[in-house]
Chain A
Amino acid sequence: MGPLPSVFGMALATGTGRRPSTLTTLWRSTVGKKAAMAVSGVVMLLYLVFHMLGNLKVFFGPGELNGYAAWLRTVGEPFLRYGWFLWIARCALLAAVVVHGVAAYQLSRRDLRARPQKYLHQRRQASYATRTMRWGGVILALFIVWHILDLTTLTVNPRGEPGHPYQNIVASFSTWYGGGIYCVAMLALGLHVRHGFWSAAQTLGVNNPRRDRTLKICANLLALVLTIGFLSVPVAVMIGVVH
């Protein structure tokens, strides 16, 4: 809607004519901020599905995975220069992570302020996935930093050979901490997606009583498939299937 005052809502309109822009209105309200979280979450979720599928190439040998990684840099050529596609994807993902994180931080602070005094008679509330959204999100954020240092910049990777992701993956997952951190993070991811996917549908207003069950089943399936898909790689390295 434009800046014109609504014909019907005159008596309800609170301001004097000019309203702030739609995006400002959205970001300032709890409902809009949640929508920003939902949209950025869905963007990350889509990325994760492709990331997970790409990871499975590890099971078909070093040539297959390394070739795939090299191909990713050539996507869009000759329109895009070598490596540009990857950088565009990284920028979009960074934007999604930042929006998601900032909105989560601001909303969490508001939520804690809205309930300053806890009940003395405590009762367990909501499902485990729902209760762990905030800490699960923090764990995932820390993991992303580790993950980039490990397998993108290769800063902390025990092998750290550029252009050889297969060998770097095997080297990382062969250490107890490399495999351990990854597995814990993927379990956190599963829980986060389980509540997050359904919650995003509810927040964006696409949920209704008829769809509710289907959406919940989809959320569980998506969480399960992502977790198993991602976990399969470190587990395969640890039991020696991939070496």
Chain B
Amino acid sequence: MNLTLRIWRQTGPDAPGALTRYQVSGISPEMSFLEMLDTLNEELILTGEQPIAFDHDCREGICGACGMVINGQAHGPERTTTCQLHMRHFRDGDTIDVEPWRAAAFPVVKDLVVDRSAFDRIIGSGGYITAPTGSAPEAHATPVPKEAADLAFEHAECIGCGACVAACPNGSAMLFTAAKVVHLNALPQGAPERATRTRSMVATMDAEGFGGCTNTGECATACPKGIPLSGISLLNRDFLRRA
């Protein structure tokens, strides 16, 4: 496959940036989007140019590092992470636009790399339980109703990738925060701190400069882990009950 790429290049946080055009050839449909970028970077390095900076780690869809907006869609045309997006979803001769996550709370560090530590601070303000848990407990020590376990698990799938913020027209982190809050609030271990957790995480989310939720649903459509929009409703309920 031969492709034309237009990739956001920006040398540093305060430097101006722009889309820069590149040609890549010899891309196989089996390659992942990141491997395609690796191929381009190898060429750039050989010609003495700065390679394109992008975040990645696990390359198996579980770490959430590989965020980038491809043709206006977070993580591209498929509902998956960029590392799990394969080039067979593009056609020979395509022009592909690649931009970093855009949100005031996610400042660009370099090229496609953004600083997502605002998410860490949201987690830090209540995305855990304070009781010392020691090693893994015996599975039946604390009975968990099946429904609660399912709800918690569905929301625990969030990998903190930030696609929800990137896709939201308001740069809102409600889906992410909802995933964390619902996951912990649903379980007996998380129940005692429900009120403070919900209040505290919402307060941090607001303080970090994320936008508000207007229920457009773009987040849940973009989420590679299928965190449901109804999670936001559950977060709202917990917040309003416990404010």
| A residues adjacent to B (C-beta < 8 A) | 1, 6, 8-9, 11-14, 22, 25-26, 28-35, 107, 110-123, 125-126, 130-131, 133, 195, 198-199, 201-209, 212
Contact = CB atoms under 8 A, between A and B. Distances in A.
B83 to A, nearest CB: 20
B213 interface: yes
Label chain B's interface by main secondary structure.
mixed
B133 interface: no
Interface string B124-142: 0110001000000000000
Contacts of B104: 113-116
A53 B214 CA distance: 30
7 contacts: A6-B196, A12-B196, A32-B240, A115-B170, A119-B99, A205-B233, A208-B233
Kindly name the residue among B72, B205, B214, B229 whose own CB sees the greatest number of chain A CB atoms within 10 A.
B214
A14 B73 contact: no
Contacts, number: 161
Nearest to A23: B243
Interface residues of B, number: 56
B176 interface: no
Given A110-B212, A117-B102, A126 B195 contact: no
B11 interface: no
Contacts of A28: 206
A101 B103 CA distance: 25
Contacts of A203: 213, 215, 233, 236
A107 B236 contact: no
B236 A119 contact: no
Of A31, A32, A115, A207, which is in contact with the most chain B CB atoms at under 10 Å from its CB?
A: A31
Contacts of B196: 6, 8-9, 12-13
A119 B239 CA distance: 32
Contacts of A206: 233, 237
A131 B105 CA distance: 23
Given A8-B192, A25-B199, A130-B214, A121 B230 contact: no
A126 B243 contact: no
A133 B214 contact: yes
B193 A12 contact: yes
B169 interface: yes
B99 A26 contact: no
A126 B170 contact: no
A29 B211 CA distance: 11
B200 interface: yes
A32 B209 CA distance: 16
Nearest to A199: B215
A111 B193 contact: no
A111 B192 contact: no
A126 B241 CA distance: 29
B172 interface: yes
Contact of A111 (B125, B214, B218, B242): B214
Contacts of A122: 72
B29 interface: no
B19 interface: yes
A93 B72 CA distance: 41
A198 to B, nearest CB: 7
B17 to A, nearest CB: 9
B216 A121 contact: no
B217 interface: yes
Interface string B87-103: 00000000001010011
Contacts of A201: 233
A213 to B, nearest CB: 12
